[in-house]
A = this chain, B = another copy of it.
Amino acid sequence: MYDYDRQYAAYLSSFEEALQKHCDALSDKSPTLKKAMVYSVTLGGKRIRPVLMLAAADMLGTPAEEVIPFAVALEFIHTYSLIHDDLPAMDNDDFRRGRPSNHKVFGEAQAILAGDALLNAAYDLCFAQCFKGEKYVRASKYLCEAAGENGMIAGQSADVLWANKTDFTEEELRFIYEYKTGKLIVAPLAIASILADDRGFLELEAFGRSLGRLFQLTDDILDVTGDFGQLGKTVGKDKDEGKLTCVRLYGLEKAQIEADLCADDCLLSLERLDADTAFLKDLVHFVRERKK
């Protein structure tokens, strides 16, 4: 019988196995560089992005093997963004998932290069898939656009520029949510759909946009109410204090209401899908109600 936790664990474990294989296959031409890359990739975490991809593929009837290389590529991209985000010139975080951040272990120079190399390795995986035909190229290009200057990096750039802004607007907050966090939450769902010959594409994109926003809303709320932040962050949030958050904009109470409304949007998008959405629905509830 279906059980959310068991299902999550199953997706996670098949992903972790593939991730480890792809880490092993990385070149050790510079052994230090490889060590730095693998260190951050294997720090663990909930792997929400790859799990979303595997769950969506499962729901649409696409074999896991089809999406796994893209799930690994996506996690490489997510990891590179965290390594660079943690750098002293960016968020200056000494810890990541309870362990010293990459530059604290390998030095700033190797951390910058390890991030670069993970981004590069992600696309190397994608190009290997592109030989298989057009939809694999489309999936790769979707990921690349979601990660780049018209996607996640635009959000990171704005996040840096607008830090310590006192009079920020709802539009600015929405922009950062949509780009910095949202783009890489939509991507795994859209890619799973592309590889399933576009089945449910628009519905999954809409769901992903709401889910990305829900993540960031609950993340901001948990920074105030929770044990510690989520989405890969751990202790020591002082560096984020000047950042644009929904709690700063709305106040805590209204932020909670926004999160509830956003969770409803997620569920509504799922209703429109002609598929078994039980797992994704449970995931929405889990994200809304998580305590850390």
Residues of A within 8 A of B (CB): 26-27, 29-30, 32-34, 37, 80-81, 84, 87-90, 103, 107-110, 112-113, 115-117, 119-121, 123-124, 126-128, 130-131, 134, 137, 140-141, 144-145, 147-150, 153-158, 160-161, 179
- Residue contact B149 to A121, C-beta cutoff 8 Å: yes
Kindly list chain B residues whose C-beta atoms are within 8 Å of the C-beta of A81. Answer: 116
Most B CB contacts (10 A, CB to CB) among A32, A113, A156 go to A113
- Secondary structure at the A interface, as helix, strand, loop or mixed, is helix
Question: Assembly of this chain: how many copies?
Answer: 2
Kindly list chain B residues whose C-beta atoms are within 8 Å of the C-beta of A120. Answer: 119, 144, 147-149, 153
- Residue contact A29 to B119, C-beta cutoff 8 Å: no
Kindly list chain B residues whose C-beta atoms are within 8 Å of the C-beta of A115. Answer: 116
14 contacts between A and B (CB under 8 A): A29-B150, A34-B149, A90-B109, A110-B157, A110-B161, A113-B153, A113-B160, A117-B148, A117-B149, A117-B153, A124-B148, A127-B130, A127-B144, A130-B141
* Alpha-carbon distance A148/B118, docked complex (angstroms): 8
Q: Separation in Å of the A194 CB from the closest CB of chain B?
A: 13
Most B CB contacts (10 A, CB to CB) among A26, A27, A84, A117 go to A117
* Alpha-carbon distance A29/B130, docked complex (angstroms): 28
Q: Separation in Å of the A196 CB from the closest CB of chain B?
A: 19
Kindly list chain B residues whose C-beta atoms are within 8 Å of the C-beta of A117. Answer: 148-149, 153
- Residue contact B156 to A113, C-beta cutoff 8 Å: yes
Kindly list chain B residues whose C-beta atoms are within 8 Å of the C-beta of A113. Answer: 84, 153, 156-157, 160
Kindly list chain B residues whose C-beta atoms are within 8 Å of the C-beta of A160. Answer: 109-110, 113
* Alpha-carbon distance A127/B32, docked complex (angstroms): 30
Kindly list chain B residues whose C-beta atoms are within 8 Å of the C-beta of A155. Answer: 30
Given A27-B154, A116-B84, answer yes or no on A137-B127 (Cβ-Cβ < 8 Å).
yes
